[in-house]
Structure 1
Amino acid sequence: MCEYDLEILFEDDNLIAINKPSGLLVHPSWIAPRSTPNLTSMLKEYLQGTAYTIHRLDRPTSGVIVFGKNKETAQRMNHMFAEREVQKTYLCMARGYTPEGDIIDYPLKEKLDKLADKMANPDKPPQDAVSEYRRLGTVELPIPVGKYPVARYSLVEVKPKTGRKHQIRRHMKHISHPLVGDTKHGDGRHNKAFREHFDLDRLLLMATELSFRHPESGELLTLQAPVDSQVDELFSQFGWSGLYPV
């Protein structure tokens, strides 16, 4: 039995949007056992047909993700993403007090998978990558981490203008404010502190909103994904209620 439920945010004859939980794969993966739940298979069962991929979210990232119900709509949406006609908004928690807001314009070298991308050119130049962010809140916790007696964090809204792999995680690390719970690009000492003090073992990166013109009707759609109850409870402790979708 699958441990995950489908939380449908929007559905019509052409599109379906889901609030993906943290930890759920979007597709089957060679690095996970064949029985590992994945969103594509769950949607196939729900729709009794194919769900066409439009974009992706990393396994540890939660939030809104859209699929096409037919190939033509999916292709139109793929083109819209490629032409940057889709506005994406993320919520994350970063180490330290970030600036109030800024634009990170820092090219990123393509991350290649050792098996899936073994034929790809490893010497491709970095690709342009731009992320705009603003700080929504801060908190200082009486938790010693490393040589510091307290730990400081920021609640940050990020609007990526490009779609590179792990872009937000890598960009926030680049400005020395890695995300809490990021096991690839984060700070293990802070991740450990959140596991021990808050029983939190997930990446604090949530895709909270997608806004775009419907590829068939032209209607402006703004799809919001609420944070899960664990994140909401944690952020409420930090005095951040009302700063994000619930």
Structure 2
Amino acid sequence: MLEIIFRDEYFIAVNKPAGMLVHRSWLDKHETQFVMQTLRDQIDQHVFPLHRLDRPTSGVLIFALSRDVASRAMPMFANHEMSKTYHAIVRGWVEESGRLDYDLRVELDKIADKHASQDKEAQKAVTDYRPIAKVEIPFSTGKFPTTRYCLMELNPLTGRKHQLRRHMAHLRHPIVGDTSHGDGKHNKLFREVYDSHRLLLHASHLEFIHPYSKQVVSICAKVDQTWQKICDEFGWQVAENN
């Protein structure tokens, strides 16, 4: 059963669990659970995806409840008229807020994109980031006896594939649990010490002007038990920030 966090006659939003695909894909033939099909069965109504979240990312995921609504709302995502806020736990301490304007090359899939051109130009990618809290824990991942982590608020101003994960890795503050762009030593520490086997990236807030009512819609999604346990351990208040 998916947690429904917003619904009106036009849209429905859920708090997507980490590890769940948005919809069926031939690239994941062995998967049996998908957000789109699960939600459709749960509300007994077809839903139309307006955007995606990576499989390991949790948080706000919104669907249209009709094809007409989807066609009207899709350009809002394409034109970045929807404000998205994410939270992430990253390696190291980030001392100041900033904006990273760093172009990203198209990330191709080995199977799906095997015939695609490998020399596409890098695309503009912009992310605002803000440190919220930090911690130093008594476990070593290298030459120092302790290790530092930071809770971040991230706002992507563009929508490139794996943008937040790649941008934080570029800043040398990879997101914990990222097996593609992260640091294995830190991922292992969180698995063994905090029983965290997921990417610590959460889409916590989505805001937009409703295309029909013209009112501001603000949708929040709380973190899951894994996140909450870590935040309690570190003395962080991320749940109240969502």
Aligned to 1:107: 103
Q: Alignment partner for residue 13 of structure 1, among 4, 9, 16? A: 9
Counterpart contact for 2:136–2:146, Cα < 8 Å? yes
2-structure distance, mates of 1:212, 1:40: 22
Question: 2: CA distance between counterparts of 1:33 and 1:120?
Answer: 22
- Aligned sequence identity (%): 47
C-alpha separation in 1, matches of 2:190 and 2:30: 30
Letter in 2 for 1:128: K
Gaps of 5+ in 2: none
Q: Does 1:165 align with 2:131?
A: no
Query: What stretches of structure 1 of length at least 5 have no aligned partner?
Result: none
Residue identity opposite 1:51 in structure 2: V
Q: State the alpha-carbon separation in 1 of the partners of residues 239 and 60 from structure 2.
A: 18
> TM-score, length-normalised on structure 2?
0.95
Counterpart mapping for 1:146-165 below 5 A: 146-165=142-161
Q: 2:128 aligns with which of 128, 132, 135?
A: 132
Q: Does 1:64 align with 2:52?
A: no
**Map 1:83-232 → 2, pairs under 5 A:** 83-232=79-228
Shift of 1:12: 1.3
Q: In structure 1, give the amino acid aligned to 2:26.
A: W
Q: Structure 2 counterpart of 1:93, which letter?
A: I
Counterpart CA distance in 1 for 2:231 and 2:106 is 33
- Structure 1 residue matching 2:144: 3-state secondary structure: coil
User: Where does residue 24 of structure 1 map in the other structure?
Assistant: 20
CA distance in 1, matches of 2:142, 2:105: 30
- Please tell me the residue identity of whatever aligns with 1:182: D
Structure 1 residue 197, shift from structure 2 partner: 0.7
Conservation of the 8 A alpha-carbon contact between 1:173 and 1:179 = yes
Structure 1 contact 28–38 (Cα < 8 Å) conserved: yes
- Seen in structure 2, the aligned counterparts of structure 1 residues 174 and 35 have a Cα distance that, compared at 3 Å, is closer
RMSD: 1.5
